[in-house]
Amino acid sequence: MGLGFDIRETLDDVGASFTILRNSGNIAGEFLVSKPNSQVTKPFIREFFLEAMLQDDTDVVAGDVIRLDTTLACYLVMNKTPYTFENEIIKYDVVLYKCNVSGELFRLSGESDFNPQTFRIEPKWDTVKNNCYALQTASLFGNTLDNNEELGKLGIEAHELYLPESIGTKVLDRYQPVSGEYYQVETVLVRRFDGVVVATLNEDTR
């Protein structure tokens, strides 16, 4: 028994329990200790970003969505960094992005229907994923948040969607964060984070 075991026991005693949400089956029984991101001068970062510590034998991988059992808040695991002591991993440090949407992701089926009410040919959609947890926001790393503009002035276009790479999001997919609100996936950035993709969105009028 070493420091890793001691940290596991400490997390069991004082940590917050969480569940890993996976298509293959949820995984429960782990605990974490979190703290606000160090850039606490920005309200957006304080609200949506957390740094957390996980046990050395955690099942969590980058790109997982986890749900805190007490608050039911869901977070996207952005990275997973091992912390070593005397050549052994004793814990993992992770960065978590709070999921503010849990909508649906759709893909064009290749078929279409005629709508007699609008007299338009409308495309048909296949569901890629229901309960598609993600963080949807205006650009986090562009000019908007870097120059301290007020969040209330942000537009509704050119949003970014942070979601698990395992979903397989593609260009031209449609994301519906809430009923009646549609966004088209314009680009998919796959190398910015491990296990997480960043999709740029614009209003979908198809």
- Same domain? For 37 and 122 the reply is no
- Same domain? For 82 and 111 the reply is no
Question: For residue range 172-203, what is the model confidence (pLDDT) as tens digits?
Answer: 999 999 998 999 999 999 988 999 999 999 99
- Same domain? For 128 and 191 the reply is yes
pLDDT confidence of residue 39: 60
124: containing domain: 101-203
3-class SS string, 158-192:
CEEEEEEHHHCCCCCCEEECCCCCCEEEEEEEEEE
- Which of 60, 76, 98 lies at the terminal end of a domain, its last residue? 98
pLDDT confidence of residue 147: 38
pLDDT confidence of residue 50: 92
| Nearest Cα to Cα of residue 11 among 28, 29, 37 | 29
Sequence-distant contacts of 146-153: CB under 8 A, at least 24 apart: 148/42, 151/43, 151/44
pLDDT confidence of residue 153: 38
pLDDT confidence of residue 143: 38
pTM of the model: 0.85
- Same domain? For 54 and 93 the reply is yes
- Which of 71, 98, 125 lies at the terminal end of a domain, its last residue? 98
pLDDT confidence of residue 100: 95
Lookup: tokens for 133? 């947890």
Count of structural domains, the chain: 2
CATH at residue 93:
2.40.10.270
Per-residue pLDDT of the chain (206 residues; tens, 9 = 90+): 689 999 999 999 999 999 999 999 999 999 999 987 666 567 777 778 999 999 999 999 999 999 999 999 999 999 999 999 999 999 999 999 999 999 999 999 999 988 888 888 888 999 999 999 999 997 654 434 443 444 333 334 478 999 999 999 999 999 999 998 999 999 999 988 999 999 999 999 88
- Same domain? For 79 and 138 the reply is no
